[in-house]
Structure 1
Amino acid sequence: MATVSAPSITNKTSPNKSKYRPEIDGLRAFAVVAVIINHFNKNLLPSGYLGVDIFFVISGYVITSSLAGRESKNFLDFLTGFYVRRIKRLVPALVVFVLITSVLICLFNPDPTLALITGGTSLVGLSNLYLLNQSTDYFAQSTELNPFTNTWSLGVEEQFYLLFPFLIWFSGFGRQKDKGARNLFLLVGSLTIASLISFIYLYQINQPAAYFLMPPRFWEMAAGCLIFIGFQRRARVEQALEQVPPLLVMLAMVGVMFLPIGAAVPATISIVLLSAVLIACLKKGTMTYHFFTLEKVVYVGLISYSLYLWHWSVLSISRWTLGIHWWSVFLQVPAMFFIAYLSHKYIESPLRKTRHIQSIQTAIGAALLTTSVNASIIFLLNHKSANVFQFANPQVRLIEKRLDNGKVYRSLILKDSDSWQKWGQAAGIKKTKGCHKSDLIRESDLSKCLGIDKSDGFKSRIYVIGDSHASAYAPGLTNAFPDAAVRTYTVGWGCAYLPRSTAAHISRIKNFNCNDYIANIDTFVSNDIRPKDMVVLSMDWRDGAGKKNSPGLGNAVASLAERIVSQGAYFILLDDVPALGDPLLCQKTWYRPSPLSSCVKTIREVATDQSSLDAIGRMITSASQTNTKYINLRQEFCDKRGICSIYLDGVQIFRDDGHITENAAVRYASKVLKSELASLMR
């Protein structure tokens, strides 16, 4: 995201004498606006996130051009000069952004730990690695609710800066050697090929790693470096690319941004190549050059670093408060630009130009001091955040609930909703045994998770499989059938009992062996199911879960049901709970006068959402009328008027945006399950 004045391509002298290229700032404006549109609404510009990739190309070009011809006494002088400029450019605005946003998010998020850690790691250029780690955590906060998610790109860029000056110097380019440019081109070119291959390969097997790590992103910044060197050394290349109509290139870039997210690899490669070509072919006298050099467009480019930082903070905090609506855009966009204006004018520009920070010792000392102060404040906020939240939300109290995996879930409960606690005391839920797998799937899972000690004397056995939505129903089954052995073997990461092709796709993008889970279920059905056993399947049916539109899902479920029934056992398919908003965002407060539209649905809307699941239910029950059942539970979580929300009878029944509480499973699901399945348990 760095914004450095770009020299003219054709200038081969000291960058201090170079011509400023305002059109590069215009291109920055184009990139940041695309990112903002995408972050407001992905449907408007599905691949607008590629604006970040444009920033990467610009950074590679600008950094190379700023180092071309720069005189240095020795390597240490060259290196310290480079890092002093980077620290002065990036750190001040980032420190202020992290500090202010950390305080703000604690006012609205009762458990801001993940957000605060992301902000803290961004101060040392490691937030991309932290987010990579969190991307495989089922209970990680939504990226849209983390106000520091956007700092991943700064981490990538800063890690690039750790390597790039060494390439510049030891290739001879930084020492103005005769073959320095040639050596740098060959060196960076070789690394570019390796990086691009790693990006394409990793995207197929571990999408988060391809997205967050610097090595698979190196080629994007290297593209900017190569285009600068190529134009410096090859007049024919320069002349050829200057003949390319820049308007055509820009329109192609816009077109790429309308590609669906599923085309991420070709879209990324295309946008990087087109960005490099556009930098090369932008020349005076063209309509595109005129557009990119308009005063207001250039200004947006100049403040693009601060705008990139703060736009996400505004959107994230808006999602915690008033939400994102068509009318809120008229508040949020001016807020983004006004804060970016203040940041650029009073933080970025003054500190970048200050003469008080010239030595590397002073720069590092200032950076360490401000970062340490910020980190200390973040630490205090994290440990006192509930108090900060309560200060802003006196009408809301927190009830902590420790989940089976050891993580703490904090649910928001209105003060007058004491019935929740009464149910917690009176339910007397018998602990359901089993596992919810969020780590490596192993063959030993079967005996560990589904094994039943014969000496326990259970009259019947119920096995719950699927994902976390299935395990949320398990307490209802345990309560309905106290004499039965209820065992769960469920899985996270978007996996469940799915078609092999879908499972393979999930395994690639989530770096999780989903197919092994399915293989374990198949093995269990073949070897361990006995007559009169009951296998219960349920899964997340929300649009974003990926299962709803999984090709061949109906056939996969039907095949599983047929094998279970053929052994004299019962197969039960449960529908899903209504897909509603996160309870944290559905509370009516002074800063959120009305809950989000996603917080409430009608039973008819829920039925429409799950119509394809109903079709699968009809298909399996028509094949075997006696040993299969499809049970509709969704209406139990809606009131008599057919309105579904996170509350029912004054009780919070959802612990997040997709999982019912244990008490809800006992109080509402249990009676239907008992009524529907009692005849099979005899």
Structure 2
Amino acid sequence: MKYRREIDGLRAVAVLPVILFHAGMTFWSGGFVGVDVFFVISGYLITSILIDDRERGTYSVLKFYERRARRILPALFIVLIACIPFAWMWVPPYPFEDFARSLAFAALFISNVHFLEHGGYFDLNADLRPLLHTWSLAVEEQYYLLFPLVLFCLRKFRRAKFLIVFTLLALASLAVAEWGWRNYPSQNFYFTPSRLWELLAGSLCAVILYQRAQLKSELLAGVGLAMILFATVFFNAALPFPSLYTLVPVVGTCLIILFAERETVTARILSIKPFVGVGLISYSAYLWHQPIFAFARIRHAEEVPDWAMMLLAGLALVLAWASWRFIEQPFRGKAPLVLPTRRGILGASFAGIVVFAAFGFWGLAKEGFPSRIDFDGSPYLARLYEQTTEHGAAEGLCPEASSPVLRDLCPAYAPETSERRIALMGDSHSRVMLPAFEPASEELDATILLGDKPGCPPLLGVHLASGGGDARICRQAVERFAQQVRETDVDTVVLIARWSLYVSGDYDGIDPRSQLVPEAGARFMSDADHVAAFENGLRETFDYFREAGIRVIVFSQVPQQRIIPGILVQNAMLLGLDEAAARRRFEESFVTREASDRLQARARGIMAEVTSEYDIPVLTLDDVFVDGDRFAWLDGADSLYMDDDHVSEIGAARLAPLVLEALSRPAQ
């Protein structure tokens, strides 16, 4: 097919926002849509080539996969090789297990399955996963396994026939995406059937243009570019993806492919040398940027400053040029310089896949190679390791029932001569807070009942915005716990949750899965609507217990850290730091009071207004963690946190005096 410079320029428009998004540049909050642009371009190019080969009688499945191997694998293998030593030196055992599995799955082109099963693209720890970006390569390669079969079934090229079949397949895939984000939002992002329609959109462009002159429209080409740029700037993690929203960058890309004839302004802009140059190295740039960013964040105790991330983005482009020039080019072209025969490239590809997969599964079987850590090198670090990897007594209290939906209130602490019944209702933070209630149980002769559901705020009358099974289970669990509180002679109910999560998300912004809505399945709500749902949930919950004559106490959340202490401790052990150097590194990682207060300000403001109206006390826990202008996760040789937002058993015990005082106060 004829070379189109503007397509390479379009690749630059796709890859640069992705890099800036992963670098944490907030202006490019929708930079992730660059992947969708890549999908459309890939679908267009591959379909054009395959249809042309079939019509010319030169089509060969082996030839097709040889081209894919030469295009994809050499640069990918180099990046995977480069990642292994840095992961070995810096990544602690548990995260190394994740890395090892993602390495094996990336080599097998099923890494989207790994990330589908182990967390979401917009999760906080996504920044620390060096191979997260390989999910898109997996989706593309899975498409290319299926697409030749579709072409075989379609037989000879007929434009109308191909358009109808591709359109029907694309609509079916889009329907899966729409259903998926409503029911399984995290998994939907990586789910291949939810993504196929984007590649098929490119295939439709190929069918429309096949053996036709390039279409020309200044207006439509310009609108297409504007749609892509709009999405990269104004989209964010709060939007469900992929979904109908994804039509914006996808349709925008299709308009450029179809109507950006080389004399149009859009084509001329995309064809300027800097854009074309970045486009030529875009694949290698995409491969290099995420590992560089992830390892920098793993190695650095504090948040990596923006200027440093921009330097690292520049490094990614430099490595991309070198990779393109010295790795990609020698393997490609009509006369490849390296492994010129089909048997050679396919054999080497198979061997490489086997080696990387074997190493990855070996790392998984060895549980991240904990032998890399010297537990005898520093008793101080070894003690912290135990504190940050063991969940303590709270984990053994009130184990999860076999049914994930309906579990009764559980007596966590029950003195023989119990005179009171106090119920804790909340998300996972209520469970880890249990040790803080043990002294109060003994002192006040009170049975402490627990009703917890991870990721589920203890509020009535609201639903999680993510919808699907998790939202339904959450609503049912809260209603059941609240009903049992009224039926079991409870005199005080304590509400504990990570309140800011349901209003403001985390330090990276809103978490769309945790926003609240007034009705199940409610969509297209503004940020103000979600906040109003949170406030209304507080009011309905307070009304419910006040009508039953049950006292309510609200616990504020503990300050949220920016890092996971256990990973930082293990990282210090891998680096062989002595106690003094480790302490300095840990103290640098404490979250600033300014950042923590800013994150919690909105939820606390709403909470203060509503609790004041209902005359409900709020117990603030911040003072226990204050260390100058920061909130500490470490106190001497003791870790106060299990992860970035859950306190450890020691941290919970430090809160016990505050809890006893709050529960001892007479009801107002």
Give the alignment's TM-score, normalised by structure 2: 0.83
Provide the secondary structure at the position in 1 that maps to 2:451.
strand
| Corresponding position of 2:225 | 250
Q: Are residue 678 (structure 1) and residue 659 (structure 2) matched?
A: no
Equivalent residues in 2 for 1:471-482, closer than 5 Å: 471-482=431-442
| Corresponding position of 2:65 | 83
For residues 107 and 674 of structure 1, do their structure 2 counterparts lie closer, same or farther at Cα, with a shift above 3 Å needed? same
For residues 531 and 440 of structure 1, do their structure 2 counterparts lie closer, same or farther at Cα, with a shift above 3 Å needed? closer
Q: C-alpha separation between the residues in 2 aligned to 1:434 and 1:531?
A: 18
Q: C-alpha separation between the residues in 1 aligned to 2:38 and 2:545?
A: 54
Provide the secondary structure at the position in 1 that maps to 2:332.
helix
Kindly state the Cα deviation for residue 90 of structure 1 after the two structures are TM-superposed.
1.3
Provide the secondary structure at the position in 2 that maps to 1:581.
coil
Q: Which residue of 545, 548, 563 corresponds with 1:567?
A: 548
Equivalent residues in 2 for 1:127-206, closer than 5 Å: 127-135=111-119, 142-172=125-155, 177=156, 179-206=157-184
| Corresponding position of 2:481 | 521
Q: Are residue 539 (structure 1) and residue 498 (structure 2) matched?
A: yes
Kindly state the Cα deviation for residue 212 of structure 1 after the two structures are TM-superposed.
0.9
| Corresponding position of 1:461 | 421
Is the 2:40–2:250 contact (alpha carbons within 8 Å) kept by the matching residues of 1?
A: yes
Amino acid in structure 2 at the alignment position of 1:515: R
For residues 522 and 376 of structure 1, do their structure 2 counterparts lie closer, same or farther at Cα, with a shift above 3 Å needed? same
| Corresponding position of 1:16 | none
Provide the secondary structure at the position in 1 that maps to 2:134.
helix
Larger mean Cα displacement after TM superposition, 531-540 or 29-38: 531-540
Q: Are residue 409 (structure 1) and residue 389 (structure 2) matched?
A: yes
| Corresponding position of 2:625 | 637
Kindly state the Cα deviation for residue 387 of structure 1 after the two structures are TM-superposed.
4.6
Equivalent residues in 2 for 1:343-358, closer than 5 Å: 343-353=323-333, 354=336
Amino acid in structure 2 at the alignment position of 1:133: E
Kindly state the Cα deviation for residue 390 of structure 1 after the two structures are TM-superposed.
5.6
> What CA deviation, in whole Å up to 9, does each residue of 1:534-568 have, x standing for no partner?
44433342432546964232332333234334434
Amino acid in structure 1 at the alignment position of 2:439: N
Q: C-alpha separation between the residues in 1 aligned to 2:307 and 2:48?
A: 43
Equivalent residues in 2 for 1:206-245, closer than 5 Å: 206-232=184-210, 239=215, 241-242=216-217, 244=219
Q: Are residue 45 (structure 1) and residue 28 (structure 2) matched?
A: yes
Kindly state the Cα deviation for residue 24 of structure 1 after the two structures are TM-superposed.
1.1
For residues 597 and 295 of structure 1, do their structure 2 counterparts lie closer, same or farther at Cα, with a shift above 3 Å needed? farther
Q: Which residue of 66, 87, 95 corresponds with 1:105?
A: 87
Is the 2:639–2:650 contact (alpha carbons within 8 Å) kept by the matching residues of 1?
A: no
Q: C-alpha separation between the residues in 1 aligned to 2:340 and 2:57?
A: 17
Is the 2:460–2:540 contact (alpha carbons within 8 Å) kept by the matching residues of 1?
A: no
Q: C-alpha separation between the residues in 1 aligned to 2:597 and 2:119?
A: 31
Is the 2:427–2:457 contact (alpha carbons within 8 Å) kept by the matching residues of 1?
A: yes
Q: C-alpha separation between the residues in 2 aligned to 1:596 and 1:544?
A: 25
| Corresponding position of 2:600 | 610
For residues 613 and 38 of structure 1, do their structure 2 counterparts lie closer, same or farther at Cα, with a shift above 3 Å needed? closer
Kindly state the Cα deviation for residue 452 of structure 1 after the two structures are TM-superposed.
8.0
For residues 399 and 78 of structure 1, do their structure 2 counterparts lie closer, same or farther at Cα, with a shift above 3 Å needed? farther
| Corresponding position of 1:600 | 591
Between the two proteins, the alignment pairs up a number of residues equal to 621
Q: C-alpha separation between the residues in 2 aligned to 1:336 and 1:454?
A: 58
| Corresponding position of 2:101 | 117
Larger mean Cα displacement after TM superposition, 55-64 or 206-215: 206-215
Q: Are residue 578 (structure 1) and residue 559 (structure 2) matched?
A: yes
Provide the secondary structure at the position in 2 that maps to 1:463.
strand
Provide the secondary structure at the position in 1 that maps to 2:210.
helix
Q: C-alpha separation between the residues in 2 aligned to 1:337 and 1:347?
A: 14
| Corresponding position of 2:314 | 334
Q: Are residue 371 (structure 1) and residue 335 (structure 2) matched?
A: no
Provide the secondary structure at the position in 2 that maps to 1:324.
coil
Q: C-alpha separation between the residues in 2 aligned to 1:598 and 1:400?
A: 15
Q: Which residue of 459, 467, 470 corresponds with 1:498?
A: 459
Q: Are residue 488 (structure 1) and residue 468 (structure 2) matched?
A: no
For residues 209 and 149 of structure 1, do their structure 2 counterparts lie closer, same or farther at Cα, with a shift above 3 Å needed? same
Kindly state the Cα deviation for residue 375 of structure 1 after the two structures are TM-superposed.
2.8
Asked which structure has the greater RCO (Cα within 8 Å, sep 6+), the reply is: 2
Kindly state the Cα deviation for residue 137 of structure 1 after the two structures are TM-superposed.
12
Is the 2:555–2:620 contact (alpha carbons within 8 Å) kept by the matching residues of 1?
A: yes
Kindly state the Cα deviation for residue 431 of structure 1 after the two structures are TM-superposed.
7.6
Q: C-alpha separation between the residues in 2 aligned to 1:512 and 1:364?
A: 49
Q: C-alpha separation between the residues in 1 aligned to 2:612 and 2:190?
A: 47
| Corresponding position of 1:307 | 285
Unaligned runs of 5+ in 2: 507-513, 517-529
Amino acid in structure 1 at the alignment position of 2:405: R
Unaligned runs of 5+ in 1: 1-6, 8-18, 412-423
Q: C-alpha separation between the residues in 1 aligned to 2:397 and 2:533?
A: 31
Is the 2:19–2:313 contact (alpha carbons within 8 Å) kept by the matching residues of 1?
A: no
Q: C-alpha separation between the residues in 1 aligned to 2:472 and 2:110?
A: 24
Q: C-alpha separation between the residues in 2 aligned to 1:343 and 1:358?
A: 19
For residues 650 and 302 of structure 1, do their structure 2 counterparts lie closer, same or farther at Cα, with a shift above 3 Å needed? same
Kindly state the Cα deviation for residue 147 of structure 1 after the two structures are TM-superposed.
0.8
Q: C-alpha separation between the residues in 1 aligned to 2:599 and 2:250?
A: 38
Is the 2:109–2:141 contact (alpha carbons within 8 Å) kept by the matching residues of 1?
A: yes
Kindly state the Cα deviation for residue 49 of structure 1 after the two structures are TM-superposed.
0.8
